[in-house]
Amino acid sequence: MDYQQAINQNYHQDNLIRTIEHALEKSGKEITALTREDLRFFDEFHIGGRAATRELGRLARLAPGTRLLDIGCGIGGPARTLAAEFGCQVTGVELVESYYQAAVALTGWVGMSAQVQFQLGSAADLPFEDNSFDVLWSQHLIMNIADKPALFQEMRRVLRPGGRLALYEGFAGPLSPPHYPVPWAASPSISFLTDQDSLRQMLADAGFQEEQWHDLTDASLDWFEKMIASQTARSADGPPLLGLHLLLGPTAGQRMANVRRNLTENRLGIVQAILRG
């Protein structure tokens, strides 16, 4: 199986748009009157959800009109947040077709297609001209990328000189391997965690200058504890209809539990960083 097939196998869900539509309708939402708020339990596919995106946006000093590329944009939640809350002109690029199609559909449903566009494509070969963006955005993507030096070179190519790279990513903790399955990989074949120091060195070698680097591993674990408590409260009347299980399918619970376990056992760390290109 090649890389693209393996990534697809990990993330693809049959009839994703219909599944999301059905879950929204069952929870009392009208598709013709949806807001971003209605999508908040599942459209940001990373630790910390929308709050983490807001915090990274503030750190990156995003401003109205910023041309921003979200690489590995999932179903487009962060892209919509950055357009709605910071006024950015956002493009999302995504490798998995069902996620890309869901990103386009959800953005249309909430009336944001003029501010946010999506393209199907690979982070390894970004379908954009040189110097096209002011800010590059990468949340929980690089764990799926084996050749990080090549990725960082490709990022430099599409980033205008002096532009910023905003990262919110996983790295290898002092213990390995992580327990699988995790949300980004059912098995080690598409999981490429690098330790924090090597990651910093690879970014520096690619010519990125570090402006901010924050290890958020402990904060990520806190978020997990709160998320689990809130899910338990929400599920008093049965499992919640809206959640990341829509994107991850039936193994969602086990995958999320392994992220928490990997964080607890120092097999996974989380970093938030801003770098200048």
Ligand X SMILES: C[S@@+](CC[C@H](N)C(=O)[O-])C[C@H]1O[C@@H](n2cnc3c(N)ncnc32)[C@H](O)[C@@H]1O
Give the interface with ligand X as residue ranges (CB under 6 A). 7, 11, 44-46, 72-74, 77-78, 94-96, 99, 122-124, 139-141, 144-145, 183-184
Min. distance of Cβ 251 from ligand X in angstroms? 14
Helix axes 3-11, 97-109, angle to 10 degrees: 50
Min. distance of Cβ 145 from ligand X in angstroms? 6
DSSP class of residue 185?
Answer: B
Is residue 206 within 8 Å of residue 159, measured between CB atoms?
Answer: no
| Non-local CB neighbours of 248 within 8 Å, separated by 6+ positions | 13, 183, 255, 256
3-state secondary structure of 71: strand
Is residue 165 within 8 Å of residue 159, measured between CB atoms?
Answer: yes
161 versus 190: smaller Cβ distance to ligand X: 190
52 versus 203: smaller Cβ distance to ligand X: 52
172 versus 237: smaller Cβ distance to ligand X: 172
Is residue 61 within 8 Å of residue 37, measured between CB atoms?
Answer: no
25 versus 97: smaller Cβ distance to ligand X: 97
99 versus 152: smaller Cβ distance to ligand X: 99
Min. distance of Cβ 103 from ligand X in angstroms? 9
Min. distance of Cβ 23 from ligand X in angstroms? 17
122-137: b (≥16 Cβ within 10 Å) or e: bbeebeeeeebbbbbb
Min. distance of Cβ 21 from ligand X in angstroms? 19
| Tokens 């953005």, located at residue | 107
